[in-house]
Amino acid sequence: MEFQHKPVLLNECIEGLNIKKDGIYVDGTLGGAGHSKEILKRLSKNGKLIGIDRDEEALNAAKENLKEYQNVIYVHDNHDNIKEILNRLGIEKVDGILLDLGVSSYQLDERNRGFSYLGDNELDMRMDKSQELTAKDVVNKYSEKELANIIYEYGEERFSRKIAKNICEYRKQKTIKTTKQLVEIIENSIPKSKQNDGHPAKRTFQAIRIEVNNEIKPLEQTVKDCIDSLNDEGRLCIITFHSLEDRAVKNAYIEAKGKCTCPGDLPYCMCGAKSLGKIINKKPIIASEKEQKENSRAKSAKLRIFERKITKD
């Protein structure tokens, strides 16, 4: 299958990055390279793009899509390791970083990856096929309590306990190997009258995918590491697709912006609050009605932008 992934909030991201033609930019979620291609169009031959993705299929597709450009470095790794990656490349600071979080359209459409609740495929959900933990492991080996917590926290599924209980009952008889088996368990766990908000398995599949790929736990630290990796006036653009991601990014931005906690009657700051820069948009940027109609993935997308400001001592 051809790796197709329509970039979300493309113009808003390009504008948000405030690209310098000789700058160094990182696309930490390279995917089909839709965003990267637009970045490269605005770079001179002296500019550089570092494309990172944990999915080797995505990297191979990106190399094909960007074959006309010679100023790209491809990295098979996780954007959570941004500092280590840049250190390996001998790069101290960059001028902009883009993260487009979540699963790609290709990964959802490529049914044998097990991300989709449609069809009947092996439970996998690994963005990086070289890692050991799969969705099959989570579903068959996690305790009932662990499953319930994951489904509730990462999927915001109110029937999480019932789903977890039924998963554990089912696996006593046989191993849960396919997406179809899991979907049937979920459907039998949610009252029919409550199955009116999209596909009943959507939230549980999201939760298991997040657990398999460890998408939430390191996110705030990743945002901090990205900000630390920026040059003065460098920009960080992050697109999120659900409330947990957006909250983590928002909190990390607020912390990086810094806030004096001293009592108002003090003549000057005593708490030592330091600011790493400023939040460009206090409210997240969302897709236009036109884009939401043309690309369903854009409906839940939120873009937050941070600009690094290095204070001179």
Superfamily of domain 111-213, CATH level 4: Putative methyltransferase TM0872, insert domain (1.10.150.170)
Residue 286 has pLDDT above 60, yes or no: yes
Specify the CATH number of the domain 10-102+217-308. 3.40.50.150
Average pLDDT, the chain: 92
Domain edges within the chain: 10-102+217-308, 111-213
Please report the pLDDT score of residue 273 as a whole number.
74
- HSE toward the beta carbon, residue 164, CA cutoff 13 A: 22
Higher pLDDT, 155 or 112: 155
Higher pLDDT, 83 or 107: 83
Residue 311 has pLDDT above 90, yes or no: no
Per-residue pLDDT, averaged over 97-102, amounts to 93
Please report the pLDDT score of residue 262 as a whole number.
72
Q: Nearest to residue 138, comparing CAs of 177, 194, 92, 80?
A: 177
Please report the pLDDT score of residue 189 as a whole number.
97
Q: Nearest to residue 140, comparing CAs of 168, 115, 162, 165?
A: 168
Q: List helix spans (H) across the chain.
A: 10-17, 34-41, 56-65, 82-88, 105-109, 135-141, 144-155, 160-173, 179-187, 202-213, 219-228, 243-257, 289-294
The pTM for the full model equals: 0.90
Considering the chain, what percentage of its residues have pLDDT values greater than 90? 80
Residue 193 has pLDDT above 70, yes or no: yes
Per-residue pLDDT, averaged over 195-216, amounts to 92
Residue 1 has pLDDT above 50, yes or no: no
